[in-house]
Amino acid sequence: MNVLRLFEKKKIEEAGKDIPNFKAGDTLKVHTKIKEGKNERIQIYEGVCIARKNNGMGSTFTVRKISFNEGVERIFPLYSPNIEKIEKVRIGKVRRAKLYYMRVLRGRKARIVEDIAKAQKERNEAKK
């Protein structure tokens, strides 16, 4: 393993983030720190994860939501200090790694079916 990978691995461990196991198609709530002058607050951005890029410290994920009938996408760095926490709301049942086709769909066609079996399995594991 080269030196850069070892350094990245060490930095990821130091970040100590509790990141849930999620993929494209899952509905997420991302709690983000917002600074307004001297004040700092947490804002929740809820939407569907349409892409995830795993690249060590440079890992990112894209979340898409509909706000006032307009599609809004935001790319979050996975290990950013501005992300307080990530909650998984629903597990989507999709067959692709990148859901860029969602950009063109509206209304009922843009719905992602929930994977009930996986959701139930995760709930059972969480209880143990």
pLDDT digits (tens, 9 = 90+) for 49-69: 999 998 888 899 999 999 998
* SS3 assignment, position 34: strand
Contacts of 43 (CB under 8 A, 6+ apart): 31, 32, 34
- 3-127 carries CATH number 3.40.50.2300: no
Contact 24, 97 (CB under 8 A): yes
Please determine, for residue 128, whether its predicted confidence score (pLDDT) is greater than 80.
Answer: no
Going from N- to C-terminal start, the domains of the chain cover: 3-127
> With the CA atoms of 103, 75, 8 and 10 taken in that order, what torsion angle do they form, in degrees rounded to the nearest 10?
-120
Q: What is the mean pLDDT of residues 115-121?
A: 89
What does the mean pLDDT of the chain come to? Answer: 90
The confidence score (pLDDT) of residue 123 equals 85
Q: What is the mean pLDDT of residues 32-57?
A: 93
Confidence of residue 13 (pLDDT cuts 50, 70, 90): confident
Please determine, for residue 4, whether its predicted confidence score (pLDDT) is greater than 70.
Answer: yes
